[in-house]
Structure 1
Amino acid sequence: MKQQLKTIILVCLSLTFFGCESLPPSKKVGAQQKLPRQVINFNNNWQFYREDPSALTERTVEDVFLPHSVKIEPLLVNNQWQGKSVYIKEFPVEKAKNEKWFFHFEGVMQEAHVSINDSLVKTHKGGYLPFTVDVTPFLKNNAQNSIKVEVINLDDATIPPGKPLADLDFNLYGGIYRNVQLIKTNPVHISDPVHAKEVNGGGILVHFDSISAEKASGFVKVHVVNDAEAEKELRIRATLTSEEGEKMTFLTPQKKLVSGGDGHFTAEVSVENPELWSPSQPNLYELEIEVLEDEKVIDRQSITTGIRKIELTGNAFYLNGQELFINGTNRHQEYPYVGYAISNEANYRDAYKIKQAGFNFVRLSHYPHSTAFLKACDELGLLVMNAIPGWQFYEEGEFVENALQDIKDMARRDRNHPSVVFWENSLNESGMTEAFMLKANQVLKAELPYENTFSAGWIDHPAYELFIPARQHAQPPTYWNDYNKPNRPVLIAEYGDWEYYAQNAGFNQKAFGDLKEEERTSRQLRSAGEKRLLQQALNFQEATNSNLKGEQTIGMSNWLMFDYNRGYANDLEASGISDIFRIPKFSYYFYKSQKPPYQGNFSEPMVYIANYWQPGSTTDVTVYSNTEEVELYLNGNLIEKKKPVRTEFSDELWYPPFTFSIPEYVPGEIKSVGFIDGKEVASHVVRTPGEVSKMALSADISGKEIARETSDVVFIYAKLLDENGTLVHNATLPVTFKISSGENAELIGENPVKAEAGIATILLRTKELKAPVSIEATAPGISRSNINLQ
Structure 2
Amino acid sequence: MKLIPKHIIFLLLITLTFSSGKVQAQSRTKVNFGFDWEFKREEKMASNWEKITIPHTDKIEPLVVNNQFQGTSWYQKKFKVENSNNKKVFLYFEGVMQEADVWINDQKITNHKGGYLPFTVDITAFLNLKKENTIKVKVNNEDNPEFLPGKPLKDLDFNYYGGIYRNVYLLTTDKLYITNVVEADKKASGGVYVNFDNINKEKASGTVQVHLKNEFAVAKYVSLKFILTTKAGGKLEFKSEAFAIKANSDKAITQNIEVKDPKLWSISNPNLYHLEVQVISNNKMIDSYSEKVGIRKSEIKDDGYYLNDEKVYITGTNEHQEYPYLGYAISDEAQYRDAVKIKNAGFDFVRLSHYPHAEAFLNACDELGILVMNSLTGWQFFGNDTFQKNAIKDIRDMARRDRNHPSIIFWEASLNETEMSESFMKEATKALKEELPFAHNYSASWIDSDNYDLFIPARQHGKAPDYWTKYNKGNRKIFIAEYGDWEYYAQNAGFNQKEFSNLKEDERTSRQLRSNGEKRLLQQAYNFQEAANSNRKGVQTIGEANWVMFDYNRGYSNDLESSGISDIFRIPKFAYYFYQSQRDTNSILDKKIVSGPMVHIANYWTSNSPLNVTVYSNCDEVALYLNDVPVGKQKPIINQNSDELKHAPFVFKVEKFIAGTLRAEGFVKGEKVVSNVVKTPESAAKIVLSYDVSSKAINPNSPDMVFVYAKITDENGTIIPDATNEVTFALSEGNAELIGENPVKAEAGIATIILKTANLKKSIKITSSSERLQKGTLTISK
Letter aligned with residue 302 of structure 1: S
- Which one-letter code corresponds to 1:569 in the other structure? S
Question: AA paired with 2:338?
Answer: D
Residues 1:573 and 2:561 are matched in the alignment: yes
Q: Which of these residues, 700, 703, 726, is aligned with residue 695 of structure 2? A: 703
RMSD after superposition: 1.4
Contact 2:410-2:444 within 8 A present in 1 as well: yes
Work out whether residues 50 and 59 of structure 1, in 8 Å CA contact, stay in contact via their aligned partners in 2.
Answer: no
- SS of the residue corresponding to residue 70 of structure 1 reads coil
Quote the Cα distance in structure 2 between the aligned partners of 1:407 and 1:378: 21
Q: Secondary structure in 1 aligned to 2:426?
A: helix
Cα deviation, residue 36, structure 1:
2.8
Shift of 1:229: 2.6
**What residue number does 2:180 align with?**
192
Q: d(CA) in 2 for partners of 1:437 and 1:749?
A: 43
**Residue equivalent to 1:19:** none
Aligned to 2:340: 352
Structure 1 residues 60 and 524: alpha-carbon distance in aligned structure 2, compared to 1, 3 A threshold: farther
Deviation at 1:134, TM superposition (A): 0.4
**Counterparts of residues 707-726 of structure 1 (less than 5 Å):** 707-726=699-718
1:673 aligned onto 2:665: yes
User: Offset of 1:60 from its aligned partner?
Assistant: 4.1
Aligned residue among 533, 545, 549 for 1:545: 533
CA offset at residue 784 of structure 1? Answer: 1.5
Residue 719 (structure 2) pairs with residue 727 (structure 1): yes
Paired with 1:523 and 1:512, the residues of 2 have a C-alpha distance of: 15
Residue from 316, 320, 326 that aligns with 2:308: 320
Deviation, 1:651, is 1.0
1:221 corresponds to which residue? 209
Secondary structure class of the residue paired with 2:356: coil
2:41 paired with 1:40: no
Say if 2:275 is the partner of 1:287. Answer: yes
Residue correspondence of structure 1 range 430-441 to structure 2 within 5 A: 430-441=418-429
Q: Work out the CA distance in 2 between the residues paired with 1:433 and 1:176.
A: 33
Residue 457 (structure 1) aligns with: 445
Instruction: Note the residue ranges of structure 1 that are not aligned, 5 or more in a row.
Output: 1-7, 17-28
How many angstroms does 1:313 deviate by? 2.1
Indicate the residue corresponding to 1:245 in structure 2: 233
Give the counterpart letter for 1:778 in structure 2.
S
Partner of 1:418: 406
The structure-2 alpha-carbon separation of the partners of 1:547 and 1:479, relative to structure 1 and needing over 3 Å to count, comes to same
Q: 1:310 to 1:721 in 2, by over 3 A?
A: same
1:88–1:260 CA distance, 2 compared to 1 (3 A):
same
Matched, 1:146 2:138: no
Q: Match for 2:773: what amino acid?
A: I
The equivalent position to 1:593 in structure 2, one of 581, 585, 588, is: 581
1:504-519 equivalences in 2 (<5 Å): 504-512=492-500, 515-519=503-507
Alpha carbons 1:578, 1:588 under 8 Å: kept? yes
What's the CA shift for 1:513? 6.3
1:504, 1:513 within 8 Å by CA — same for their partners in 2? no
After superposition, the C-alpha distances for 1:643-668 in whole angstroms (9 at most, x for unaligned) are: 11201211111100000000101110
> C-alpha distance in 1, partners of 2:502/2:775?
48
Matches within 5 A, 1:392-411: 392-411=380-399
SS of residue in 1 equivalent to 2:171: strand
Map 1:632-781 to 2 at 5 A.
632-743=624-735, 745-781=736-772
Partner of residue 611, structure 2: 619
User: For 1:479-516, what per-residue CA distance to the aligned partner results, in whole angstroms no more than 9, with x for missing partners?
Assistant: 00010111110000000000000124322111116725
Q: Deviations over 1:337-359 (max 9, x none)?
A: 00000000000000000000000
Task: Decide whether the 8 Å contact of 1:281 with 1:600 is kept in 2.
Answer: no
CA contact (8 A) 1:347 1:372 kept: yes
Number of residue-to-residue matches in the alignment: 761
The answer to whether the 8 A contact 1:315-1:489 is kept is: no
Q: Which amino acid aligns with 1:649?
A: N
Q: CA deviation at 1:230?
A: 1.8
What is the letter of the counterpart of residue 298 of structure 1? I
Where 2:564 maps in the other structure, the secondary structure is: coil
Moved more, 703-712 or 347-356: 703-712
The answer on whether the counterparts of 1:332 and 1:366 sit within 8 Å (CA) in structure 2 is: yes
Q: Residue by residue, what CA displacement relative to the aligned partner does 1:101-157 show, whole Å, maximum 9, x if unpaired?
A: 100000000000011000011100000000000000000011000000000000000
CA distance in 2: counterparts of 1:125 and 1:141, whole angstroms? 29
Q: For 2:140 and 2:505, locate their aligned partners in 1 and report how far apart those are by CA, in whole Å.
A: 41
Structure 1 residue identity aligned to 2:749: G
Residue aligned with 1:716, SS: strand
Identity %: 55
CA contact (8 A) 1:473 1:505 kept: no
Correspondent of 1:110 among 98, 101, 111: 98
Conserved 8 A contact 1:187-1:228:
yes
CA displacement at 1:402 relative to structure 2: 0.6
- Partner amino acid for 2:78? E
CA distance in 1, matches of 2:336, 2:584: 23
**Separation in 1, partners of 2:698, 2:571:** 18
Secondary structure of the corresponding residue to residue 93 of structure 1: coil
Does 1:303 pair with 2:291?
yes
* Shift of residue 789, structure 1, vs aligned partner: 1.1
Aligned to 2:442, the other structure's residue is in SS state coil
What is the one-letter code of the residue matched to 1:78? N
Deviation at 1:518, TM superposition (A): 1.2
> Following the alignment from structure 1 to structure 2, what is the Cα–Cα distance between the partners of residues 694 and 593?
32
CA contact (8 A) 2:549 2:564 kept: yes
SS in 2 for 1:621: strand
Aligned to 1:455, what secondary structure does the other structure show? strand
Q: 1:478 to 1:507 in 2, by over 3 A?
A: same
Aligned residue in 1 for 2:111 = 123
> Is the counterpart of residue 234 in structure 1 residue 222 in structure 2?
yes
Q: Distance in 1 between matches of 2:761 and 2:603?
A: 42
Instruction: State the partner residue of 1:429.
Output: 417
Distance 1:463 1:596 in 2: 37
Match in the other structure for 1:608: 600
> Secondary structure, in 3 states, of the residue corresponding to 1:440?
helix
Residue 786 (structure 1) shift: 1.3
Displacement of 1:227 after TM fit? 1.2
- Over 3 Å counting, the alpha-carbon distance change for 1:609 and 1:197 in structure 2 is same
Residue matched to 1:782: 773
Partner of 1:363: 351
Distance (Å, rounded) in 2 between the aligned partners of 1:697 and 1:178: 30
The residue type equivalent to 2:583 in the other structure is K
Q: Which runs of 5+ in 2 are unaligned?
A: 1-16
| Contact 1:241/1:247 (8 A) holds in 2 | yes
Provide the residue aligned with 1:3 in structure 2. Answer: none
Distance across 1 between alignment mates of 2:252 and 2:557: 49
1:354-390 deviations in Å (ceiling 9; x for gaps): 0000001000000000000000000000000000100
In structure 2, C-alpha distance between the alignment counterparts of 1:385 and 1:641, rounded to whole Å: 41
Superposition deviation, residue 782 in structure 1:
1.5
Matched position secondary structure for 2:132:
strand
Q: For 1:282 and 1:503, how far apart are their aligned partners in 2?
A: 40
Counterpart code for 2:627: N
Matched residue type, 1:749: G
Query: Which residue matches 1:387?
Result: 375
- State the SS of the aligned residue for 1:150: strand
- Residue 374 of structure 1 aligns to a residue in which SS? helix
Q: Secondary structure at the match of 2:432?
A: helix
Amino acid at match of 2:317: T
Query: Is the 2:146–2:384 contact (alpha carbons within 8 Å) kept by the matching residues of 1?
Result: no
Q: Matched residue of 1:403: which SS?
A: helix
In 1, the alpha carbon distance for the partners of 2:256 and 2:321 equals 37
Q: Supply the distance in 1 between the matched residues of 2:185 and 2:455 (Cα, whole angstroms).
A: 29
Instruction: Return closer, same or farther for 1:66/1:12 CA change in 2, 3 Å cut-off.
Output: farther
